């Protein structure tokens, strides 16, 4: 099975769906492989992963919109 490599831009576009298990199996493998070799995308992946956890846990103190805005800002600063 040949997995088409993806670039950083595509990885970052898909990472949210990847975390939600909403991508195809081939794309999930490609994203996993990319993250393993790309520190920058790994950091974005980790941030998105934390975002999911924070939304689950922190809704009592902040609205999800506030939390998302804050973490999106963090991602933008990484860019
Ligand atoms: Zn990358």
Please state the pTM of the whole predicted model: 0.67
Q: Is residue 54 in some structural domain?
A: yes
Determine the distance separating the centroid of ligand 1 and the alpha carbon of 45, expressed in angstroms.
Answer: 10
Q: Is residue 3 in some structural domain?
A: no
Q: Is residue 17 in some structural domain?
A: yes
Determine the distance separating the centroid of ligand 1 and the alpha carbon of 55, expressed in angstroms.
Answer: 25
Neighbour tally for 35: CB within 10 Å? 19
Is-contact 50 71, C-beta < 8 A?
A: yes
Residue pLDDT, tens place only, 25-67: 999 999 999 999 999 999 999 999 998 888 778 666 667 788 8
Determine the distance separating the centroid of ligand 1 and the alpha carbon of 66, expressed in angstroms.
Answer: 27
- In terms of residue numbers, what domain contains 17? 8-78
The domain total for the chain is 1
Determine the distance separating the centroid of ligand 1 and the alpha carbon of 2, expressed in angstroms.
Answer: 19
Determine the distance separating the centroid of ligand 1 and the alpha carbon of 22, expressed in angstroms.
Answer: 19
Q: Is residue 27 in some structural domain?
A: yes
Q: Is residue 1 in some structural domain?
A: no
What's the distance, Cα to Cα, between the start and end of the chain in Å? 32
Quick one: tokens of 27?
A: 């794309």
């Amino acid at each position: 099975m040949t997995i088409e490599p993806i670039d950083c831009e595509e990885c970052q576009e898909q990472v949210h769906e990847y975390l939600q298990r909403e991508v195809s199996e081939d794309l999930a493998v490609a994203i996993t492989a990319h993250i393993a070799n790309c520190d920058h995308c790994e950091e974005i992946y980790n941030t998105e992963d934390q975002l999911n956890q924070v939304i689950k846990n922190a809704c009592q103190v902040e609205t999800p919109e506030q939390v998302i805005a804050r973490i999106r800002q963090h991602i933008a600063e990484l860019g």
